[in-house]
Amino acid sequence: MNAYLAARNRTDAGHLTIYAEYSNSKKIKRVATGVKGIHEKYWDNKNGLVKANGHKDVSGTNAQLKAALANLNDAVKTLYLANGNILPTVDQLNAHLAASTETIAAIVTEQPLVAELLGFITYQTETADWADATRKGFVTLSNNIKAYETAHRQTWKLSTLTNTDIEAWQHWLLKTYDYNNATLGKRVRLLRQFLREKQPQGVNMARVKALHSQMLTAPVVLHKSEIEALRALDLCQNPRLERVRDLQQAQIFSGLRFSDLMALRQHHIKSYGEGKIITIRPQKTVKTGKTVTIPVFAPLQEVLDKYKNAETGELELPVISNQKFNEYLKELCALVPQLNEPVVIEQKKRREIIVTTPPKYTLISSHSSRRSFCSLCLDLGFLPKQVMQWSGHSTLAAFQRYMGQNENQADIAEQFAQAYSSK
């Protein structure tokens, strides 16, 4: 709308400062764009662009110039319409800009998206008690974006980010890292979580999706026979693995996340009728204040009794990092012959299905115990709504991702056949 980009303030070395300008009746309104130090040989005056190699971030710089010009044109257009389709004077434009609460210049002080993301990670880690795996996932996302920016000589900013940028980044991830669909889906899901906090204007959040669909498979869980085999292991000569097994059993029979198990204290355990219950606020829901109440089943009570200090009465569970716990869990589970059997794992890579058959013990982690709790309770006949109250799941969709395959598939088929034939 009659505004333009102009190169001014040429230095002796040939460097220029770029402004967005509007002129009328021999008067000029000049607005800083924040772009300066561009050598004249790299300035395309006709198209109002910095040429290739004219800046370390040519794409980001041109986007900044485009935003500054668009803002100035928007102001001119607003006044043009208000004047009855007559171009505003520079004095009118000055008054309008002075009264406006929004800056017309490009966002010179705007941080790169990666810097915003790292700030988001720090804030959430400190205030939301993120699990270590969540923090690492976001750090990997940040590294992926930085690597893409380096490869394409550009810098993402929230003010200029578009869905096209996100799709191009996904294509690059697939080509560069050969990610399967599940891994790509995790990256996009974390990016979407971050962008929902920031709400960038140029991004349609409904379209922030992974390029390829994931294959929905049942999670790896420990079944009753495998749990009993672990409980039956003689670990008297290996106190380290004995402590790991105790923590695993406490998780399997409480459904607590590992971080919440490490935070469990005696004051969380209360008498209730004939038995006991655990009432605890999961670290994941500290913000909302939501608590979960879990019945203390007999196998869990055995572990709690074992680690209760006889003198102080306090609960003193073994302390270990999640990383070491996951490492030792695999060592523990490898002692059970059943868990050395291969399991079929199917993953999608683009449109291809990749099948692997690793030993089951290699897939066991601390979160497997939480999933095992949910599946075991369902196998024992408890209703999903009841188990969700114990596990803290707020939606059935989230809870269903924790349901492993039933150990007694053959028995179920026989029960169905009998019931069907009796009708």
Reduce the DSSP state of residue 113 to 3 states and report it. Answer: helix
Q: Residue 409 pLDDT > 50, yes or no?
A: no
pTM for the full model? 0.56
pLDDT of residue 172: 95
pLDDT of residue 346: 72
**Average pLDDT along the chain:** 87
* Percentage, residues of the chain above pLDDT 70: 88
Instruction: Report the residue count for the chain.
Output: 423
**Burial class, 199, CB count within 10 angstroms (exposed 0-12 / middle 13-18 / buried 19+):** exposed
pLDDT of residue 393: 86
Rounded to an integer, the average pLDDT of 109-118 is 88
Q: What is the spatial distance between Cα 183 and Cα 317, in angstroms, rounded to a whole number?
A: 34
Instruction: Locate 233 and state its tokens.
Output: 């292991």
Q: Residue 42 pLDDT > 90, yes or no?
A: yes
Least confident segment among 67-76, 123-132, 220-229, 297-306? 123-132
pLDDT of residue 415: 54
Map out the domains of the chain as residue ranges.
4-99, 113-207, 224-414
pLDDT of residue 218: 62
pLDDT of residue 417: 58
Does the domain formed by 113-207 have CATH 3.30.1380?
A: no
pLDDT of residue 217: 60
Rounded to an integer, the average pLDDT of 62-79 is 91
Selected residue with higher pLDDT from 71 and 248: 248
The amino acid occupying position 377 is: C
Q: Residue 407 pLDDT > 60, yes or no?
A: no
User: Which CATH number fits the domain 224-414, given the four candidates 3.40.50.300, 1.10.1200.10, 3.30.413.10, 1.10.443.10?
Assistant: 1.10.443.10
Q: Residue 102 pLDDT > 70, yes or no?
A: no
pLDDT of residue 107: 44
The Cβ of residue 148 has, within 10 Å, a number of other Cβ atoms equal to: 18
pLDDT of residue 106: 45
* Axis crossing angle, helix 298-306 with helix 239-252, rounded to the nearest 10: 140
Q: What is the pLDDT of residues 311-359, one digit of tens each?
A: 999 999 999 998 999 999 999 999 999 999 998 877 666 677 778 889 9
The amino acid occupying position 257 is: R
